[in-house]
Structure 1
Amino acid sequence: MRVRIIGGGLAGALLAWRLSDLVPDWRVEVVLTGRTGRVDATAASGGAVRAYEDDPGQRRLALDSLVELLGSPTLRRWADFRPSAATYLRRDRAGLDDAVAEIEHRLPGSARIADAAELAGLGWAGLAPGDVAVVERQAGQIAPGRLREAALADSRARCLESTLDVVATGNADLTVVAAGAWTPGLLRASGLPADSYRTKSLQYSVHPVEGTRPGQFVDGVTGVYGRPDGAYGLLLGVPTDAWDIDPDAPPTTPALADRARRLAGERFPGLRIGPARLRIGSVDCYHDEPGLALRPVGPPGHGVFTFTGGAGGSAKTALAASLRAATRLVESGRTAQPTPVERR
Structure 2
Amino acid sequence: MPGNGQVRACIVGGGLAGSLLAWRLATASRSWRIDLVTGHHSRADATAASGGAVRAFEAHPEQRRLAAMSMVELLGSRTLRLWADFRRVESVYLPDGAGPLDDAIADIDQLLPGSASLVPAVELAKLGWTGVDDHPGFAVMERRAGYVSPDRLRNSVLADGEVRSRMSVHTGPVGRIEPRPDGGVRCVVDGRPRDYDVVVLATGAWTGAVLRNNGYPDTDFRVQSIQYSVYRTGSWRPPMFVDERIGVFGRPTTDGGLLLGRPTGLWSVDPDVPPTTPHLHDSAATLATARFPRLRLGGVVRRVSSADCYADAPILGLRPVTDQQHRLFTFTGGSGGSVKTALAASHRAAVQLIGSGQPTELVTVGRRIG
TM range (shorter): over 0.9
C-alpha separation between the residues in 2 aligned to 1:21 and 1:35? 23
Single out whichever of 206-215 and 48-57 deviates more from structure 2: 206-215
C-alpha separation between the residues in 2 aligned to 1:70 and 1:212? 27
C-alpha separation between the residues in 1 aligned to 2:324 and 2:110? 39
Displacement of 1:159: 4.1
3-state DSSP class of the match of 2:145? strand
Partner of 2:241: 217
Q: Is residue 135 of structure 1 aligned with residue 159 of structure 2?
A: no
8 Å CA contact 1:247, 1:283 repeated in 2: yes
Q: Which amino acid aligns with 2:27?
A: D
Q: Which amino acid aligns with 2:157?
A: A
Partner of 1:119: 124
Q: Is residue 229 of structure 1 aligned with residue 229 of structure 2?
A: no
Partner of 1:240: 264
Displacement of 1:155: 2.1
8 Å CA contact 2:57, 2:67 repeated in 1: yes
Q: Deviations over 1:2-35 (max 9, x none)?
A: 1011111000000011101222321100012235
3-state DSSP class of the match of 1:192? coil
Single out whichever of 160-169 and 105-114 deviates more from structure 2: 160-169
Residues 306 and 98 of structure 1: is their aligned pair in 2 closer, same or farther, counting only changes over 3 Å? Answer: same
Q: Is residue 88 of structure 1 aligned with residue 93 of structure 2?
A: yes
3-state DSSP class of the match of 1:75? helix
C-alpha separation between the residues in 1 aligned to 2:167 and 2:342? 24
Displacement of 1:211: 4.3
Q: Which amino acid aligns with 1:141?
A: Y
Partner of 1:109: 114
3-state DSSP class of the match of 2:355? helix
Q: Is residue 59 of structure 1 aligned with residue 64 of structure 2?
A: yes
Percent identical: 54
Partner of 2:158: 152
Q: How many residues are treated as equivalent by the alignment? A: 332
Q: 1:230-309 alignment to 2 at 5 Å?
A: 230-309=254-333
C-alpha separation between the residues in 2 aligned to 1:145 and 1:22? 23
3-state DSSP class of the match of 1:124? coil
Pick one of 14, 17, 20 that aligns with 1:8.
14
8 Å CA contact 2:21, 2:347 repeated in 1: yes
C-alpha separation between the residues in 1 aligned to 2:313 and 2:67? 17
Single out whichever of 74-83 and 114-123 deviates more from structure 2: 114-123
8 Å CA contact 1:303, 1:332 repeated in 2: no
3-state DSSP class of the match of 2:272? coil
Q: Is residue 31 of structure 1 aligned with residue 37 of structure 2?
A: yes
Q: 1:300-339 alignment to 2 at 5 Å?
A: 300-331=324-355
Q: Deviations over 1:243-284 (max 9, x none)?
A: 111111011111111011011112111212235331100011
C-alpha separation between the residues in 2 aligned to 1:296 and 1:153? 29
CA RMSD of aligned residues (A): 1.7
8 Å CA contact 2:70, 2:341 repeated in 1: yes
8 Å CA contact 1:12, 1:178 repeated in 2: yes
Displacement of 1:312: 2.2
Residues 197 and 292 of structure 1: is their aligned pair in 2 closer, same or farther, counting only changes over 3 Å? Answer: same
Displacement of 1:235: 0.3
8 Å CA contact 1:26, 1:159 repeated in 2: no
Partner of 1:342: none
Q: 1:37-56 alignment to 2 at 5 Å?
A: 38-56=43-61
Partner of 2:368: none
Displacement of 1:303: 0.5
C-alpha separation between the residues in 1 aligned to 2:257 and 2:138? 26
Displacement of 1:113: 1.0
Residues 96 and 20 of structure 1: is their aligned pair in 2 closer, same or farther, counting only changes over 3 Å? Answer: same
3-state DSSP class of the match of 2:340? helix
Q: Which amino acid aligns with 1:279?
A: R
Q: Which amino acid aligns with 2:61?
A: P
Displacement of 1:161: 4.6
C-alpha separation between the residues in 2 aligned to 1:138 and 1:332? 32
C-alpha separation between the residues in 1 aligned to 2:213 and 2:13? 15
8 Å CA contact 1:87, 1:133 repeated in 2: yes
Q: Deviations over 1:31-59 (max 9, x none)?
A: 122353x1000000011100011111110
Q: Deviations over 1:54-101 (max 9, x none)?
A: 111110000000001000111111111111000001244533122112
With normalisation by structure 2, the TM-score equals: 0.86
Single out whichever of 65-74 and 93-102 deviates more from structure 2: 93-102
Q: Is residue 74 of structure 1 aligned with residue 83 of structure 2?
A: no
Pick one of 184, 187, 190 that aligns with 2:208.
184
